[in-house]
């Protein structure tokens, strides 16, 4: 896998509004690899891997999210390919259980 791998934390009103399903749809549409999950603190965490420009555009889209979400902040950091191992076997992009 070449390109960028970024881990993001999204805060605000991002749970109970279809945010994970929206991320899964958008990431798959953009042919990104990775995962998304809710966190018990009310945030959403995601990992995106793919071409640098596509990953950056996905992160920018996360700043808006689906229409019912109210995103307060998106924090991003570089990640390694080891983080991709959290995906379910055979999936390019997974929705993971809440942690």
- CA distance linking residue 4 with residue 62, whole number of Å: 16
29 counts as catalytic: no
Q: What is the pLDDT of residue 7?
A: 98
According to DSSP, the residues that pair with 93 across neighbouring strands are: 34
Predicted TM-score (pTM) of the model is 0.95
- CA distance linking residue 42 with residue 5, whole number of Å: 23
Contact yes or no for 51/3 (Cβ under 8 A): yes
13 counts as catalytic: no
- CA distance linking residue 23 with residue 38, whole number of Å: 12
Q: Which regions of the chain are under pLDDT 70?
A: 1-2
Identify the structural domains of the chain with CATH numbers, from first to last: 4-84 (3.30.70.100)
Q: Catalytic residue among 38, 40, 63, 75, which? A: 38
Q: What is the pLDDT of residue 2?
A: 57
């Amino acid at each position: 896998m070449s390109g960028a791998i970024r881990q993001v934390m999204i805060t605000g009103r991002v749970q109970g509004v279809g945010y994970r399903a929206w991320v899964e749809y958008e990431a798959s549409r953009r042919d990104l690899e990775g995962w998304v999950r809710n966190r018990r603190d009310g945030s959403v965490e995601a990992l995106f891997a793919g071409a640098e420009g596509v990953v950056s555009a996905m992160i920018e889209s996360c700043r808006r999210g689906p229409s019912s979400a109210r995103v307060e902040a998106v924090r991003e950091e570089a990640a390694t390919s080891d983080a991709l191992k959290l995906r379910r076997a055979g999936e390019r992009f997974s929705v993971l259980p809440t942690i």
